[in-house]
Amino acid sequence: MVSWTDRGEGSRREFLRDAAAAGAVVASASPMAALARAIPRRARGKSVAVLGGGMAGLTAAHELIERGFKVTVYEPVRLGGKARSIPVPGTAKGKRRALPGEHGFRFFPGFYHHVPDSMRRIPYGDNPNGVWDNLVDATGTLSARANGRPDALFLGILWAPNEILSVEGLRQILLEEILGGKGLRPDELAFFVQRLLIFVTSCDERRYGQWEKVPWWEFVQADRFSDEYRTIIARGLTRSLVAAKEEVASTRTIGNMGEAFVMNILGRGNDGALDRVLNAPTNEAWINPWVRHLRKLGVRFEVGQKVTGLELKGGEVESAVAVDWRGRKRRIDADWFVCAMPAERARRLWNKKVLKADPKLEGMNDLFVDWMVGIQYFLREKIEITRGHITFADSPWALTALTQAQFWEHRNFPKTYGDGKAVDCLSVDISDWDTPGLLYNKPAKKCTPKQVAKEVWAQIEAHLADRGEFALNKKMVHSWFLDPGVTWDPKRKRNRNATPLLVNTAGSWEKRPEAATEVPNLFLSGDYVKNDIDLATMEGANESARDAVIALLDRVGSKADPPAKYKLYDPPEFEPLKAIDRELYKAGLPNVLEVRGAQRAAARG
């Protein structure tokens, strides 16, 4: 879930590659487009098979159908993928709807731009801006601590967007407003802020050539400091936000997201409010209206079709092979194919013929996926914690949560969902499935679903029990629902997960493919594809789908306007420092702020 600002402008995060001779990083304004032009354009029909109906697939279908293509989407499970709502089976009573489960709560930070652009083009009742008007502001956040540690609250945007930003000004904002009060020692906080400033003033060449290859743990020098520093800085900024292991996550990716969130807080380049959520379950507010709109435009949907293979002839995809719920095979014929499946599923399609046509796709086998899965607690009583997201900073399982009914103001929860006894939903994301918990001393992967539910509740209680504003108790829980993608294997005594997320490990950028492959009629769409936001998010999936359509239009030789593209905000005030850093990097020297930081430390010592 991420966003951009200036349409098609700015040098930020241009795709960069390692130069073979010197190991330097060279910029390419659009290697995807260059690759598309390198393959001869071919006269062929306009039928497109979109393989996957999640965020990437629906976006590709939307952009293609608006440009006159004949589009069919093939989806194995349910349209919407991980972004959809999941009705809890057997919970609808009377004329009510089923309780609204989900893969995990979702939010729309102000720096998202591709997703909001799509939303504005989806009609919804009398909304002048379509589905986009179903976004409501989450005006508060809470970082709850256990064992009596002080909680941290944050409200609102801190900075007037038109004010000049300087390195020292940003340092003070980070020290006093954004990171202050988190329980860190002053020296640790100052050190971390200096590391952030080093990243923010690093040129793209250094980001791709150096920081891409450095794990976040190493960049923030977690081994040097306290357990509190490791919990908040090394672990908290990776596992809670992006479900990435701090020891292996790329500094470039985590740094990019840290910078995007800071600019978001400062109101720079935002599409809307700092933090937004939907005013109803996702299917009701977004996915169902989207599918209806696409059907009206002419998109065909084939649900229950799992694509299992690609058949090539003459170096091009001749057809795809799919299997339905009953195990019956079918052949999918089309002129063009957009693979909009997750990385771990897409790479199963790369047979010998595919890899012969595009050997670089083999690099996808080295991409790493991990778990970030949600559980919902349907409550008999409403609890008022904050009007926004909650991070349970000390939780072993890196929990984050949101109480949802407060945002569904046009839905009377007990009259609309379930049996009338549940009045709210506490939706929780579990980002760490490998660390032992409090109750069973086992990681979530080795807990039964019932144990997962008890353990998550216990970790939440440990963080909220000392607040004194309200008391949690088990009687509040009407029922709970764990993402059905997680299934318990009684023989192996561990869970399986059908819906993992890509983790941007250090050095993985070069393993990731472009949207345009060297197979002339095959394109890739998914958050694993190289994209500007560069994270497993709805925004990344949406952006990559636009890149796939741009590449397809290029190969067709279409004169249609390409889909709109956006870039993450790049503060112009720091361009002079980045220009200096570019020369320093070329000379093999560190960032100037890294040198100054070392000099200050030496002076203090």
Tell me: the pLDDT tens digits for 396-420? Answer: 999 999 999 999 999 999 999 999 9
Global pTM?
0.90
Provide the pLDDT for residue 6: 32
Specify the range with the lowest mean pLDDT, choosing from 147-156, 301-310, 509-518: 147-156
Closest CA to 177 of 267, 249, 112, 94: 267
Please state, in angstroms and rounded to a whole number, the distance separating the CA atoms of residues 248 and 504: 8
Taking 50 as the threshold, does the pLDDT of residue 82 lie above it?
yes
Please state, in angstroms and rounded to a whole number, the distance separating the CA atoms of residues 509 and 249: 11
Provide the pLDDT for residue 600: 57
Provide the pLDDT for residue 10: 34
Taking 60 as the threshold, does the pLDDT of residue 443 lie above it?
yes
- Per the rule left: phi > 0, alpha: psi between -120 and 50, beta: everything else, 29 is alpha
User: What is the helix (H) or strand (E) element at residue 264, kind and residue range?
Assistant: helix 251-265
- pLDDT, one tens digit per residue, over 414-426 is 999 999 999 999 9
Give percent of the chain above pLDDT 70.
Answer: 86
Q: Is 404 helix (H, G, I), strand (E, B) or coil?
A: coil
- Which amino acid belongs to residue 183? G
Please state, in angstroms and rounded to a whole number, the distance separating the CA atoms of residues 401 and 215: 27
* Concatenated DSSP letters of 31-70: HHHHHHHHSPP-----EEEEE--SHHHHHHHHHHHTTT-E
Closest CA to 109 of 85, 84, 141, 152: 141
- pLDDT, one tens digit per residue, over 221-270 is 999 999 888 888 888 767 666 666 788 899 999 999 999 989 988 889 89
> How long a stretch of residues is the chain?
605
| Paired strand residues for 144 | 392
Taking 90 as the threshold, does the pLDDT of residue 210 lie above it?
yes
Taking 50 as the threshold, does the pLDDT of residue 95 lie above it?
yes
Tokens describing residue 67: 């440009």
- pLDDT, one tens digit per residue, over 536-572 is 899 999 999 999 999 999 999 999 999 999 999 999 9
| Paired strand residues for 332 | 320
The alpha helices in 287-398, defined as continuous H runs, are: 288-297, 343-346, 352-357
CB neighbours of residue 314 within 10 Å: 7
- Which amino acid belongs to residue 236? G
User: To the nearest 5 percent, what fractions of the chain are helix, strand and coil?
Assistant: 35, 20, 40
| Positions of E strands within 360-485 | 368-370, 373-379, 388-392, 399-403, 424-430, 477-482
Taking 90 as the threshold, does the pLDDT of residue 472 lie above it?
no
Taking 80 as the threshold, does the pLDDT of residue 394 lie above it?
yes
The alpha helices in 84-125, defined as continuous H runs, are: 114-120
Taking 80 as the threshold, does the pLDDT of residue 1 lie above it?
no
Q: Which residues contact 83 (CB under 8 A, 6 or more apart)?
A: 54, 55, 103, 106, 282, 286, 287, 538
- Kindly state the greatest CA–CA separation across the chain: 73
Mean pLDDT on 42-52: 86
Specify the range with the lowest mean pLDDT, choosing from 162-166, 359-363, 386-390, 478-482: 162-166
Tokens describing residue 427: 């939706």
Q: Is 145 helix (H, G, I), strand (E, B) or coil?
A: coil
Taking 70 as the threshold, does the pLDDT of residue 19 lie above it?
no
Q: Which residues contact 591 (CB under 8 A, 6 or more apart)?
A: 198, 201, 202, 206, 581, 584
Give the highest mean pLDDT range of 11-15, 37-41, 481-485: 481-485
CB neighbours of residue 484 within 10 Å: 15
CA distances from 268 to 164, 263, 438 (A): 11, 5, 40
Provide the pLDDT for residue 474: 84
Please state, in angstroms and rounded to a whole number, the distance separating the CA atoms of residues 185 and 164: 29
Provide the pLDDT for residue 40: 53
- Quick check: 242 and 249 in contact, CB under 8 A? yes
Mean pLDDT on 380-402: 91
DSSP 4: -
Provide the pLDDT for residue 178: 78
Tokens describing residue 458: 């216990």
- Quick check: 103 and 83 in contact, CB under 8 A? yes
Provide the pLDDT for residue 27: 34
Give percent of the chain above pLDDT 90.
Answer: 72
Please state, in angstroms and rounded to a whole number, the distance separating the CA atoms of residues 178 and 184: 12
Under the banding of pLDDT at 50, 70 and 90, the label for residue 140 is confident
Q: Is 278 helix (H, G, I), strand (E, B) or coil?
A: strand
φ/ψ (deg, to 5) at 450: -65, -40
Q: Which residues contact 256 (CB under 8 A, 6 or more apart)?
A: 13, 207, 533, 534, 535, 568
Mean pLDDT on 189-206: 96
| Paired strand residues for 68 | none
Taking 90 as the threshold, does the pLDDT of residue 295 lie above it?
yes
Provide the pLDDT for residue 179: 77
CB neighbours of residue 351 within 10 Å: 12
CB neighbours of residue 123 within 10 Å: 14
Mean per-residue pLDDT over the chain, rounded: 88
Taking 60 as the threshold, does the pLDDT of residue 602 lie above it?
no
* Concatenated DSSP letters of 20-33: TTT--EEEES-HHH
Please state, in angstroms and rounded to a whole number, the distance separating the CA atoms of residues 210 and 191: 20
Compute the C-alpha angle 533/535/539, nearest 5°. Answer: 60
Provide the pLDDT for residue 244: 67
Taking 50 as the threshold, does the pLDDT of residue 28 lie above it?
no
- Which of 277 and 18 is assigned the larger pLDDT? 277
Q: Is 387 helix (H, G, I), strand (E, B) or coil?
A: coil
Under the banding of pLDDT at 50, 70 and 90, the label for residue 368 is very high
CB neighbours of residue 113 within 10 Å: 29
Mean pLDDT on 115-139: 97
- pLDDT, one tens digit per residue, over 308-345 is 999 999 999 999 999 999 999 999 999 999 999 999 99
Under the banding of pLDDT at 50, 70 and 90, the label for residue 173 is confident
Taking 60 as the threshold, does the pLDDT of residue 9 lie above it?
no
Please state, in angstroms and rounded to a whole number, the distance separating the CA atoms of residues 446 and 157: 41
Please state, in angstroms and rounded to a whole number, the distance separating the CA atoms of residues 193 and 600: 14
Under the banding of pLDDT at 50, 70 and 90, the label for residue 146 is confident
